[in-house]
Structure 1
């Protein structure tokens, strides 16, 4: 059920379409029997709902970091932040419909108490060009993450929701790439530095915010999957194995190569070695 996702067209050249709304999703139609016993998706969807809900803090930090660029800060505050928060709200409604006894708010509060201390402006790359490169890597990772989760279930409402989120993440990637290109036009940085930033941020995906979220989901799981013999270390490893083994490599590599601004022929030549590198870095 793989889906090819177009990346070549600038989002600004596409006709405006109404953004999907949470009320478009029929949560009463969820086929709970198709998902409620899936332990992996329980942890992955719960942790995703935490991270997306906490995106307001991160958006504020990014807006501060790019305060000298009104167009960028306006988009971050008016579009990116609102769509990320919508993802969090929609994911929360879904997981609470499937696993209603999970103490979502209590677990989220404990997660955010830890997570908010990690989200500081100081964590962003001091070079605004290279922070845009890092944003492109993060959006590549989230696109691949939601694409992979969508392929793991046949539950119709979940597939619709994850498809919507995945497509939003592609749109966010295109915006970050556009702003990076604008910064490059005014004051270019060397391609070697861009490649270094890509590689550094790609390695950090293994040590991402999802570790924090997974830990708090595990701590508050209550009776859900109580018979499971998996420790937290097992759960974290299984999550990495699921995502990395099912990573849509072609999609991820096409996105990762874009910030290098390579000629088309050279980009094609580098596709295979970059795919091997990305798979090796993301492997469990």
Structure 2
């Protein structure tokens, strides 16, 4: 059974955007890109949810959770992050930039791009939720603006909770499919390398198209923005927690955990230094 649902969940009404300390955040270009890009990806999460619901059709429990909890919470993240962007950077035409992003991003959201088995896709989702939780914890630690710190902390906690659900569903499907650790490890390694994915690159380009159109056609500038974002995540990363979350679907004996931790650290190093 999945973890017990929280009886209450925060809502956008719990965030007092009037309390934003503009002096602490408005001039921070790096945080602007981090929050704006996240708002795009979260706001487009219904496209991915549709694919997952189709992929797990016939599993009423997973379908129900995806539709009524995961999708709703992800879309709320998008609304809250959009509201934050519009309060701090009102000159940024969020809707125009997002529409451009969505037109491209929808091409990446296809059922055929999911993992070959249900268990492997759930393992992949564990990696993605690890990455998003890490990303929002980095924002929370990188800023001293109290409203953004609160919002990033709330979203990070949601992503950890989502991870727990995907992990529990993974365990059920792993048992049903009888897949071994080698295939699980392949999925985990591949998806870890994809944490800095085309989704993030797509979001950066479309934010830049509206925010700094003169720079949008310069691949070196796009890479520079992406590198700044990666450094922020890396400098606020707690590798022990991240590695533990990524490795958990392998369910390794303690001795093997120690043996495999080093290569996973190296893999993470590659991801966040690129």
* TM-score normalised over the length of structure 1: 0.89
2:144 is equivalent to residue 123 of structure 1: no
Report how far residue 233 of structure 1 moved: 2.7
**Does the 8 Å contact 1:148/1:248 carry over to 2?**
no
2:234 is matched with 244
2: CA distance, partners of 1:246 / 1:231: 23
Structure 1 vs Structure 2 CA RMSD: 2.1
Moved more, 50-59 or 257-266: 257-266
**Does the 8 Å contact 2:185/2:250 carry over to 1?**
yes
1: CA distance, partners of 2:149 / 2:52: 30
1:113 is matched with 103
**Does the 8 Å contact 2:142/2:232 carry over to 1?**
no
2: CA distance, partners of 1:138 / 1:188: 23
1: CA distance, partners of 2:273 / 2:182: 24
Report how far residue 56 of structure 1 moved: 0.5
For residues 25-82 of structure 1, give each alpha carbon's deviation from its aligned partner in whole angstroms, at most 9, with x where no partner exists.
1100000110000010111100100000000110010100110311111110110000
Q: How many residues align?
A: 270
- In the alignment, structure 2 segments of 5+ residues that lack a partner are none
2:25 is matched with 35
1: CA distance, partners of 2:62 / 2:231: 35
Moved more, 269-278 or 129-138: 269-278
* TM-score normalised over the length of structure 2: 0.92
2:3 is equivalent to residue 12 of structure 1: yes
- In the alignment, structure 1 segments of 5+ residues that lack a partner are 1-9
What pairs up with 1:129-278 in 2 under 5 angstroms?
Answer: 129-221=119-211, 231-278=221-268
2:35 is matched with 45
2: CA distance, partners of 1:277 / 1:118: 24
For residues 241-264 of structure 1, give each alpha carbon's deviation from its aligned partner in whole angstroms, at most 9, with x where no partner exists.
322343221121010111101234
For residues 75-115 of structure 1, give each alpha carbon's deviation from its aligned partner in whole angstroms, at most 9, with x where no partner exists.
10110000000000000001100001100001100110110
